[in-house]
Amino acid sequence: MLQEYLAVNVFHFLLVFARLSLVFFLLPGISAAYVPARLRLLFALLVTMLVLPMVQGSLPPQPTQPAELVWMIVSEALIGGFLGAVIQIIMAALELAGQMISAATGLANAMIDDPVTEEQSAIVIGLLNLTAVAVIFITGVHHFMNMATVDSYNLFVPGAPLFTRDMLNMAAALMDDAFYMGVRLAAPFMVFEMVFQIASGILVRLSPQLNVFFVVLPAQIILGLSILMIALPSLILVFMQFFDSNLRSLINPTGFVR
């Protein structure tokens, strides 16, 4: 009796861990390269121990066939990867905005080592990513991400067939929204770049002997950074609203609005 009870509990633990481990390996901040993999694994194990009693009633019994057991674990891992990928798609809007802002302000070639991905990226992208992650933890949105992960058991019931078509449609629609949000966040800088380039062209025509590059580039950087300093709070606020609304749509898919 005790052996069967422990076997069921271990199976349920592994089933929940298969989903949550991939989610927490892709969450903003936790998925950063500067967070050791062992620490992320320990965090996923602790959260699994807390979540297991909450969702144990919806977990299926342990299957008798090895193939069914393997498929159940793999399907839970796929669901966890999908949930983590959804959050990463939302964060991609900020990276797109940072790339466009870097090009508009003349800082596209100012590369730094991004501590999140351990790759070289534009300095504006690193600034926006670190600011967004800090705001997520300061405002407690990471708790909401944990709630969305737990509530996913009401939508993706373990052992049930996967809604692959709906999952792909949701991911495609979210990519569309993320692209639109990235352009929207960078819109003031796109207007600035257009006006500045037109003014630079007029200056070239008025003063052909003037070395426009040495005059225009410092002015572009100074004005671009000034606009970024003024617009950064509003930019992060708009992004956090986008982040929050998409997390709510993940919990309640019927309220998902493109």
pLDDT of residue 32: 72
| Degrees, nearest 5: CA angle 61-64-67 | 110
Asked if 244 and 87 touch (Cβ cutoff 8 Å), the reply is no
Q: 120 or 2, which is more confident? A: 120
pLDDT, mean of residues 179-191:
91
What range defines the domain where residue 230 resides?
2-255
* Orientation angle between helical segments 141-155 and 123-138, nearest 10 degrees: 80
> One-letter amino acid identity for 138?
I
257 confidence band (pLDDT: 50, 70, 90) = very low
CA-nearest of 120, 121, 122 to 104 is 122
| DSSP reduced 3-state for 61 | coil
The tokens describing 87, both together, are 């959050």
Give residue for tokens 């730094």.
Answer: 112
The tokens describing 135, both together, are 């705001």
35 confidence band (pLDDT: 50, 70, 90) = confident
Residue 182 has pLDDT above 70, yes or no: yes
Dump pLDDT digits (tens) for 122-178.
788 888 888 888 888 888 777 777 777 777 777 777 777 777 787 788 888 889 999
Q: Quote the pTM value.
A: 0.80
pLDDT of residue 181: 92
Q: What is the DSSP string of 200-215?
A: HHHHHHH-TTS-HHHH
Domain count for the chain, please give it. Answer: 1
> Per mean pLDDT, which range of 82-96, 111-125, 221-235 is the poorest?
111-125
Dump pLDDT digits (tens) for 93-131.
988 998 899 888 887 776 766 665 566 777 888 888 888
pLDDT of residue 179: 92
